[in-house]
Amino acid sequence: MLQASWIQGRNCFGRFPRNDYGSGLRHRTNLPDRETCAMTIRARVAAAATAALLLATPLAAQTPPAAEPPSPIAVVDAFEAALGPIRTHRPSHGKGICAAGHFTATPEGTRLSVSPVFSGARIPTVIRFGVGGAGPTAPDTARTTRGLAIRFQAPGGVEWDMANISAPIFGAPTPEALVAGLLARAPDPATGRPNPNRVAAFVAANPKSTLQGRWLAATLPPASWATTPYWGVNAFRFRGQDGEVRHARWVFEPLAGTLRLTEEQMRSLPADFLAEELRRRVAAGPVEFDMVLQFPAPGDDLLDPTVAWPDDRPRTRVGRLAVTGVEPGPGGPCDQISFMVLQQEPGITYSDDPTLHARTDAYAVSLSRRLQ
């Protein structure tokens, strides 16, 4: 219920007037004002929290409390406990730039999803490229993930959001582990720094939460936002034209190829070079990515985004994303919205991966704090 209400409430989550975004980077013109949106989102967060409390009370009186996934508010509170207040930027991928482009499904994409995004028509997109880590000053040379968030704007007001990273796996196997990891890293009031014993105890108890960090430590960072694959990481269910429902994960593969920084470039490049580099590329021509679906074999893990599926699983190219414009400076149309990792009934729906279910509402709560 919470999910549906958030999705219906999305006209306050930074909708763009149709046809206002077509080929270039024109700003929105008739969105509700910031204060109205902040009030709407805050009211939904409060209503959701109250409803959850009311629903929980009679059950709690009868049965011992079951392990519940953390609420969206608890998730964002944990980010703030670890990273400080997030009133001006996202708690994850806080640094980023806005871009625009379009997506066109291949015939195979149209066959594999009945979603209007995969109709084969050219679908305008709002795009945000990000740098992982908390703050807006994260260095572009850091061994963190880079992000590619996309809002697809299909005809008839149908929109679909996703947020992808430049690593094939996520940093937590469950929402509980994500929250516990953030809380373990919250600064100790006595020292102002994370307590190393608490961090060590968390790591010992949650080895899967270290897998992404190990992958990043062993992999040089991308040389450009245009030269890395971006993985969706979570499994979704795709309903095809034949009525069959298939589990799949996706990756956006750069047509420019995968190119990483050298150790020397990591030392010598400035903290901010990715944005200008991308602007130069896009000025010379569209920066393109192929969207590829990967299908699991029986026994592959559908629930845990810290486990990649083996490379030999079947893959199909389902569409191409072209980035055609980049904002000239900071801010822009992607700034005041959240890419709320949505399902798109009936074409693309969530798998049972619990980290996927934890995302949409937490992103909305996070946005509401930015809009305060």
Provide the Cα torsion 2, 67, 180, 71; round to 10°. Answer: 10
**Cβ within 8 Å of residue 84, ≥6 positions away:** 134
**How far apart (Å, rounded) are the C-alpha atoms in residues 244 and 118?**
16
Write out the residues near ligand HEM by the rule CB under 6 A: 75-76, 79, 90-93, 96, 128, 130, 147, 149, 163-165, 170, 175, 178, 232-234, 305, 338-339, 355, 358-359, 362-363, 366-367
Select 114 or 361, whichever has its Cβ closest to ligand HEM.
361
Shortest separation between residue 231's beta carbon and ligand HEM, angstroms? 6
| Cα 12 from chain centroid (whole Å) | 19
Task: Name the minimum Å distance from CB 128 to ligand HEM.
Answer: 4
Which DSSP letter does residue 271 get? S
**What does the DSSP 8-state code read for residue 297?**
P
Q: 20 or 80: whose CB is closer to ligand HEM?
A: 80
Strand partners, 127: 99, 150
Cβ-based nearer residue to ligand HEM, 90 or 114? 90
Q: Are 137 and 131 spatial neighbours (Cβ–Cβ below 8 Å)?
A: no
Q: What are phi and psi of 239, to 5 degrees?
A: -95, 120
Cα 57 from chain centroid?
33
Provide the minimum distance between the beta carbon of 249 and ligand HEM in the complex, in angstroms, as a whole number: 10
Residue with Cβ nearer ligand HEM (118 or 252): 252
Q: Say if CB 346 and CB 116 are below 8 A apart.
A: no
CB of 121 to ligand HEM, least distance (A): 25
CB of 55 to ligand HEM, least distance (A): 21
Question: How many residues does the structure list for the chain?
Answer: 372
Alpha helices (H) in the chain, listed in sequence order: 2-8, 34-62, 72-83, 107-112, 175-184, 196-205, 211-217, 263-268, 274-284, 354-357, 359-370
Whether the Cβ atoms of residue 123 and residue 150 lie closer than 8 Å to each other: no
Check if the beta carbon of residue 287 is closer than 8 Å to that of residue 281: yes
The verdict on whether 93 is a catalytic residue reads yes
Least distance in Å: CB of 264 to ligand HEM? 28
Catalytically annotated residue among 93, 102, 247, 357? 93
State both tokens at 61. 């009186």
What does the alpha-carbon distance between residue 151 and residue 340 come to, in Å, rounded to a whole number?
A: 9
Closest CA to 343 of 353, 334, 333, 335: 353
C-beta of 138: minimal distance to ligand HEM in Å?
A: 12
Residues 6+ apart with CB under 8 A from 179: 70, 74, 75, 78
Considering beta carbons, is residue 113 or 164 the nearer one to ligand HEM?
164
Which is nearer to ligand HEM, 76 or 269 (by Cβ)? 76
Using the minimum distance from each CB to ligand HEM, give the nearer residue, 110 or 296.
Answer: 296
Catalytic residues: 93
